[in-house]
């Protein structure tokens, strides 16, 4: 089989959106989200299992209703730099906002992580839908949807330009010739665009993988288009098998339409497998997890995130769902639009909407190891994903997947039995970008 599955690990810490009760589990340290040793252990376990990457999410706004993990967690690039020194092969993907960062500063930070890790850095580009973040950066209002995505596209292009400041052989460090830097191989960017004006050059050479890998999580039209233009890895929304297949085919189609090789973009769906000795035991545990996390007040607060951290508790729970469509444009527009459409179509109250978002939904990746492996193989061969971004509540549950499911996938030829590269690009099967200045010189020479 030419295609093989890619696996990434997304640590929950003390519980993100939807895992409201995780912090109460006696197996979870109450300081897990700020304990670097927790992340190092998670990364090393994933690396032992030959996973492709460790994925760290982030946001830059909270209030007291936010999930436990969001209230007290480490900054992703600082965290991943520490993890890099305790791992050798696993990729290190951090989330950072293109709305609330500057290209030069962020490009330098990711390039630094790329060097520290020996070429294992990835950037998950987000545009931020938490409207309250604007006030943490001196702005009265959050940027609208179109502006955020336009800025994101230009931001990535500027970052990539800065990462090309030095050609690969820019530093001969030739003592006999008294030549540390070949000045002809250092290039200013001199970018002037709609959102940014950046001179450059970046004061950091290219890493073994050329540039950090760009990840994105586009769901809306703008998000999907941005992903097809610039992303090399995507965190897909998942859903049913048919929804996952539709998204996968759409992104691959859009990628080709932009003149890119569809094989050079790897699509990961979210997966929270529950593995046990038997299918019955796993399904029982899945239901227990739902009951542990089913907190109405927290679910109501979580509903507000799609509408700019709006406080729905001010409304009558048993009245019709309030008219808050105007809040979606500067929040999570796509998710908010779906919520509003369903509420109107089914004439739902606010209470019913909040409850519907926390309905028990059976996962396809639950069961004995063989059952879970079968489901993963079915989805993979059906063209629903290139990889799975895995999340486990505890170290024990990660261990059950690693010890039970991974060997079956390996036996079937669906997953690697050893790392084939030292870089994230290499393990994902992505090409090393040719430095733009080197490419231009070669075209002139030809």
Closest CA to 408 of 366, 380, 369, 378: 369
Closest CA to 365 of 2, 4, 7, 1: 7
17 and 122 fall within a common domain: yes
Euclidean distance between CA atoms 248 and 4, whole angstroms? 16
Q: Judge whether 328 lies within some domain.
A: yes
Q: Judge whether 224 lies within some domain.
A: yes
The pLDDT confidence band at residue 332, using thresholds 50, 70 and 90, is low
**CA 219 to chain centroid:** 13
Closest CA to 388 of 400, 380, 399, 398: 380
Is residue 73's pLDDT more than 80?
yes
The whole-number average pLDDT for the span 76-82 is 98
Q: What is the pLDDT of residue 242?
A: 96
Please enumerate in sequence order all residues whose Cβ is within 8 A of that of 240, keeping only pairs 6 or more positions apart, or say none.
Answer: none
170 and 238 fall within a common domain: yes
Give the chain's radius of gyration (CA, Å): 22
The whole-number average pLDDT for the span 89-93 is 98
Q: Judge whether 84 lies within some domain.
A: yes
377 and 305 fall within a common domain: no
Q: What is the pLDDT of residue 1?
A: 46
Of all residues in the chain, the percent with pLDDT exceeding 90 is 78
Domain containing 209 equals 6-280+362-442
DSSP 433: P
Please enumerate in sequence order all residues whose Cβ is within 8 A of that of 184, keeping only pairs 6 or more positions apart, or say none.
Answer: none
The pLDDT confidence band at residue 225, using thresholds 50, 70 and 90, is very high
Q: What is the pLDDT of residue 330?
A: 58
Q: Are 63 and 417 in contact (CB under 8 A)?
A: no
Number of separate domains in the chain = 2
Q: Are 55 and 96 in contact (CB under 8 A)?
A: no
Is residue 360's pLDDT more than 90?
no
Q: What is the pLDDT of residue 195?
A: 97
The pTM assigned to this predicted structure is 0.93
Closest CA to 72 of 53, 59, 85: 59
The pLDDT confidence band at residue 276, using thresholds 50, 70 and 90, is very high
**What CATH number is associated with residue 145?**
3.20.20.30
Instruction: Match 């509540």 to its residue by tokens.
Output: 393
Pairing of strands 197-198, 191-192: antiparallel
């Amino acid at each position: 089989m030419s295609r093989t599955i890619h696996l990434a690990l997304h640590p929950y810490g003390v519980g993100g959106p939807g895992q409201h009760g995780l912090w109460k589990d006696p197996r979870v340290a109450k300081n897990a989200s700020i304990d670097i040793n927790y992340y190092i252990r998670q990364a090393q376990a994933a690396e032992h299992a030959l996973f492709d990457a460790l994925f760290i999410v982030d946001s830059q706004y909270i209030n007291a209703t936010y999930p436990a993990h969001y209230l007290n967690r480490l900054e992703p690039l600082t965290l991943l730099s520490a993890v890099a020194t305790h791992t050798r092969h696993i990729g290190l993907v951090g989330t950072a906002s293109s709305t609330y960062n500057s290209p030069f500063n962020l490009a330098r930070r990711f390039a630094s992580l790329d060097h520290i890790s020996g070429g294992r850095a990835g950037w998950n580009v987000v545009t931020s839908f938490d409207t309250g973040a604007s006030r943490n950066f001196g702005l009265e209002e959050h940027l609208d949807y179109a502006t955020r995505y336009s800025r994101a596209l230009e931001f990535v292009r500027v970052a990539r330009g800065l990462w090309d400041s030095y050609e690969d052989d820019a530093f001969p460090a030739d003592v006999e010739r008294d030549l540390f830097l070949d000045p002809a191989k250092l290039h200013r960017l001199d970018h002037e665009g709609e959102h940014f004006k950046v001179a450059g050059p970046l004061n950091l050479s290219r890493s073994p993988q050329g540039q950090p890998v760009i990840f994105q999580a586009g769901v809306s039209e703008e998000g999907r288009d941005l992903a097809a233009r610039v992303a090399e890895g995507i965190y897909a929304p998942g859903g049913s098998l048919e929804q996952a297949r539709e998204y996968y085919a759409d992104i691959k189609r859009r990628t080709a339409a932009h003149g890119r090789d569809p094989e050079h973009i790897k699509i990961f769906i979210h997966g929270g497998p529950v593995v046990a000795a038997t299918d019955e035991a796993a399904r029982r545990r899945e239901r227990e997890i739902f009951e542990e996390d089913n907190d109405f007040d927290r679910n109501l607060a979580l509903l507000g995130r799609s509408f700019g951290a709006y406080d729905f508790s001010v409304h009558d729970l048993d009245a019709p769902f309030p008219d808050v469509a105007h809040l979606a444009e500067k929040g999570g527009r796509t998710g908010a639009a779906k919520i509003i459409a369903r509420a109107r179509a089914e004439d739902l109250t606010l209470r019913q909407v909040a409850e519907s978002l926390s309905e028990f939904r059976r996962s396809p990746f639950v069961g004995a190891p063989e059952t879970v492996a079968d489901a993963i193989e079915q989805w993979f061969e059906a063209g629903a994903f290139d990889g799975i971004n895995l999340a486990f509540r505890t170290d024990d549950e990660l261990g059950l997947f690693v010890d039970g499911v991974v060997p079956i996938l390996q036996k079937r030829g669906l997953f690697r039995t050893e790392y084939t590269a030292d870089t994230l690009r290499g393990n994902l099967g992505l090409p090393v970008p040719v430095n733009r200045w080197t490419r231009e010189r070669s075209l002139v020479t030809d």
